Amino acid sequence: MNKLLILVLLISIAPANALAKKVTIDIGEVIGFEKYGIQHFLGVPYAQAPIGELRWQPPVPINKFVKPVDASSYGDICVQPGAKPDLNMSEDCLNLNIWTANTKAKLPVMVWFHGGGFKTGSNRILGTTFAAKGAVVVALNYRLGPLGFFAHPELKLSSVNPGVLDMVAGLKWVKENISHFGGDANNITLFGVSAGGMAVNLMATNKAANGLFHKAIAQSGYATWPLPRTSGETISPNSISAEKVAIDLITKISPDTNYNKTQLLDLSATKLVNAVEGFVLPIVDGESVEEEPGIVFLKGEQNDISLVTGGNSFEGSVMPYSGVSDDAYINLLSDDYQNIRKHYDVYTGVPESLIHQLMWGENRYLLSAYVTANAMARQSKNAWLYYVDFVPEEYKGKTLGTTHGSDAQMLWSGQFSANTEIKAVSLRLQNYWFNFAKLGTPTQTPENKGNPHWLRLNKTSIPWLLIGRTDRLGPLSIIERLKLFEDNYKQRIQPLL
């Protein structure tokens, strides 16, 4: 098929009023489309399909495209439970999307890692939001659930986190190719919410990712949360055994079968992902995840980056979906539970289950931001802290604060909200993030004129940007609770410090 015919076909596939656009990179041609001034290159493969013998193996680079890549529509999403029937889903999902306003420019690059508890989600986002501001936006898929994080002893894997290896491979692809799409390969910012924020933390502490990016925004990450560990990486009898997690999962699928490697490779991907209850956690294996990210930050061994990190006032809204019960959480806090619980007595008349959700959210997400940013400040590295506490009038009295993940919605599409309050907060949030990607600091610009100059942390000052109806720098109301959680955390990890 000649190139002219390919272009004609792509014009017919792409949305109405779109014009086909071609980019040539070292390994071949990518043909996307332009609409409303933004060029879209969708479903571009960054690695070979991890199927058959390549399941659970590190991603294999593509040396050459055998034909021009049709980038006019999204690629498959990774296998996951609960996906809508109209979404194409398969193990052949290692693809990324690119949005750019100018392939001939040298624009800041913003790479998005999606959330979803390392169990669900995809790279299908409204990338035009930041592309219209002047960034090249990239969103990539990575393997999910037990296809991405799995330590079954029969497999004898060198790394039990192929999902993490996918992230590194995607970043290498971006570093090598993004200049052809108008991106500055020397100005790459990672950002993500929830599992996406944790993915950012994982890349910030992954030696193989060193030099592949320069700045990071970890939103509601959980760098300080205990992770499963392989048998060689346990630190105490209470460590979560990654091998046991994998064996228990397989037992749920078939209680009477002791699976060998061949049977595991033949096992239905859908059965594997559907057997998972709650969220999935990355695994400390000493290789792809050398150690829990929070510990790496505390030891000053993270990659040389600048960091923006924070979270929301009611992160615990997601606890019911996490697979963590109230009893399991109380056990995690151990002897410190009663003392910490007293600091929530101000919430009178609130059901105990909601109190536990509030505690769990601050412990899991906000402690992560507090610990990692402070570690950066002690090392004289650039770090900024934020705290979103914004509840629209229509939701007042119905929630304890800004719910988990709502900042992601504001970040990508809040500018279209009919609610003027949500729209205003969204636009400020977007501007802070873009400023950081472009300038290296979320500083004041004409777009957010009138808002406070967001100060970075230093060894003696820990300013938080409090994001609400108006933004201000100030002390954090929950700081004493975070300090208690920090004490509890440091007791747990003491053997590794």
Identify the DSSP state of 269: H
Q: Is the pLDDT of residue 490 over 80?
A: yes
Q: Is the pLDDT of residue 166 over 80?
A: yes
Integer CA distances (angstroms), 176 to 323, 372, 383, in order: 39, 29, 27
pLDDT tens-digit map of 305-318: 999 999 999 999 99
Residue pLDDT, tens place only, 48-84: 999 999 999 999 999 999 999 999 999 999 999 988 8
Instruction: State yes or no: pLDDT of 373 exceeds 60.
Output: yes
Q: What percent of the chain is predicted at pLDDT more than 90?
A: 86
| DSSP E strand boundaries for 116-239 | 136-140, 183-193, 215-219
The dihedral built from the CA positions of residue 206, 209, 211 and 212, taken in this order, carries a sign that is negative
**Per-residue pLDDT reduced to its tens digit, 387-399:** 999 999 888 889 9
> In which residue are the tokens 């508890």 written?
117
Average pLDDT over every residue of 435-460: 80
Give the total residue count for the chain. Answer: 497
Q: What are phi and psi of 185, to 5 degrees?
A: -65, -10
Angle at 23 between CA 21 and CA 24, to 5 degrees: 150
Give residue 488's pLDDT. 97
Is pLDDT at 170 greater than 70 in this prediction?
yes
Residue ranges in 334-398 assigned as alpha helix (H): 337-342, 352-361, 367-378
Rg of the Cα trace of the chain?
22
Give the model's pLDDT for residue 446.
Answer: 58
pLDDT tens-place string over residues 332-349: 999 999 999 999 999 999
256: pLDDT strictly greater than 60: yes
Average pLDDT over residues 5-16: 43
**Residue 297: CA count within 13 A, CB half-sphere:** 29
Q: CA-to-CA distance for 190 and 203, rounded, in angstroms?
A: 9
The pLDDT of residue 8: 35
Average pLDDT, the chain: 93
Cα–Cα distance for residue pair 172/443, rounded to 1 Å: 29
Task: Extract the tokens encoding 9.
Answer: 């076909």
- pLDDT tens for each residue of 266-308: 999 999 999 999 999 999 999 999 999 999 999 999 999 999 9
The phi, psi pair for 260, rounded to 5°, reads -95, 180
Assign 100 to helix, strand or coil.
strand
Three-state DSSP class for residue 161: coil
Task: Provide mean pLDDT across the span 86-108.
Answer: 96
Contact 382, 456 (CB under 8 A): yes
What pLDDT shows up at residue 486?
98
pLDDT digits 0-9 by tens, 197-248: 999 999 999 999 999 999 999 999 999 999 999 998 877 777 899 999 999 9
Residue 485 class from Cβ within 10 Å (0-12 exposed, 13-18 middle, 19+ buried)?
A: buried
Least confident among 2-11, 150-159, 182-191, 484-493: 2-11
Specify the CATH number for the domain of residue 411: 3.40.50.1820
The predicted model gives 119-141 an average pLDDT of: 98
Range of the domain at 80: 3-496
Token pair, residue 376, equals: 């950066």
Strands 136-140 and 107-113, bridge-based pairing = parallel
Contact 209, 303 (CB under 8 A): yes
Range name among 5-9, 262-266, 368-372 with the lowest pLDDT average: 5-9
Instruction: Specify the number of domains making up the chain.
Output: 1
DSSP for 44-62, please give it.
EESS----GGGTTSPPPPP
Q: Which of 472, 268, 304, 435 is nearest to 380 (CA)?
A: 304
What's the pLDDT band for 3 if we cut at 50, 70, 90?
very low
Per-residue pLDDT band for 5 (boundaries 50, 70, 90) equals: very low
Tell me the C-alpha distance between 400 and 317, whole Å.
9
**Higher pLDDT among residues 239 and 355, named by residue:** 355
Of 481, 483, 486, 482, which is closest to residue 497 (Cα–Cα)? 486
The pLDDT of residue 87: 84
* pLDDT beyond 90 at 154: yes
Report how far residue 143's alpha carbon sits from residue 169's, in angstroms, rounded to the nearest whole number. 12
Q: What is the pLDDT of residue 476?
A: 93
pLDDT tops 90 at residue 448: no
Q: Which of 61, 46, 148 is nearest to 94 (CA)?
A: 46
